[in-house]
Each structure stands twice: as C-alpha cells, then as structure tokens.
C-alpha cells in the first residue's frame, strides 16, 4: 500500500489511480474517522499550501504532521483505531514521498489529501 501511495505523489501520470484509491480509502474509514479529525490535519496542509513556497521550513512542518496524526490516533477509541491507522499510514507514506527538490510532489500530496477529505464527506463521513 505505501509504495502505491508514494507513486501517486512521485509520478504525475497516476491521477486516475490516486482518485480511485482516495475514494476507496474514504469509504473504508468514513464510519470510524470523523471529518473534524481529518480537517485538523488538513488545516496544517492548507496553511503550507497557501504559503506558495515549499521550502525547508514548510517541509519540516509537513513532516511534523506525522506525530500529530499519531497523537490523534492515540486519542481515537480502540474500536475505531484501525480505520484511523489506515488514514495515518496512507498520509504518512504520502508525506514521506514529498521532496523539497521537487515542489510538484507537495502539490500532488495536497491533491491526494483533498480527494480523501472530499470522498470522506461524499460517503457520509461525520
């Protein structure tokens, strides 16, 4: 799974597969992961995106999103934790694929995250 997600970020020709993956992931987690849990992380990404410059400082803040996701997982109810772990693993792999030397990877990451959020809502995520 993580290699597939990294491919979405590293390659520009995987948009169709990325959208399908985001749809499937969102459908699988929508009953157990809340929109506000996703939006907490998405807010950080949106702030970085609005900076219009992906540099070392922005990359550092993006990497620090991984411990925030781990913290959110820890706060999640035990029975709902596996669903959150799926989201955390997908986003973690995508974050790992983002490179300062290739700013377009950050743009692809933002698109991937936005697709997950949109499909989550479409599937009835609360």
- Per-residue pLDDT at 61: 96
Residue 125: pLDDT over 80: no
- Per-residue pLDDT at 62: 97
pLDDT band at 124 (very low <50, low <70, confident <90, very high): confident
Nearby residues of 125 by Cβ (< 8 Å), 6 or more positions away:
26, 29, 30, 33, 34, 35, 38
How far CA 97 is from CA of 6, 35, 104, in Å, comes to: 5, 24, 11
pLDDT, tens only, 67-110? 999 999 999 999 999 999 999 999 999 999 999 999 999 999 99
pLDDT band at 1 (very low <50, low <70, confident <90, very high): confident
87 lies in which domain range?
2-8+16-122
Residue 115: pLDDT over 90: yes
- Residues 29 and 65: their CA atoms lie apart, in Å, by 19
- Per-residue pLDDT at 102: 94
Comparing CA positions, the residue from 57, 78, 58, 81 lying closest to residue 69 is: 81
Tokens 């400082």 belong to 57
Number of domains in the chain: 1
Residue 10: pLDDT over 90: yes
Task: Look up residue 34 and give its two tokens.
Answer: 């809340």
């Amino acid at each position: 799974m993580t290699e597939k997600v990294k491919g979405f970020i590293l390659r520009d020709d995987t948009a169709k597969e990325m959208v399908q993956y985001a749809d499937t992931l969102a459908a699988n987690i929508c009953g157990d992961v809340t929109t506000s849990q996703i939006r907490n992380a998405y807010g950080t990404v949106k702030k970085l995106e609005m900076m219009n410059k992906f540099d070392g400082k922005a990359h550092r803040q993006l990497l620090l999103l991984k411990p925030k996701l781990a913290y959110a997982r820890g706060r999640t109810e035990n029975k709902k934790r596996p669903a959150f772990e799926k989201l955390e693993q997908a986003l973690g792999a995508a974050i790992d694929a983002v490179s300062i030397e290739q700013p377009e990877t950050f743009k692809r990451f933002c698109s991937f995250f936005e697709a997950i959020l949109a499909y989550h809502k479409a599937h009835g995520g609360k």
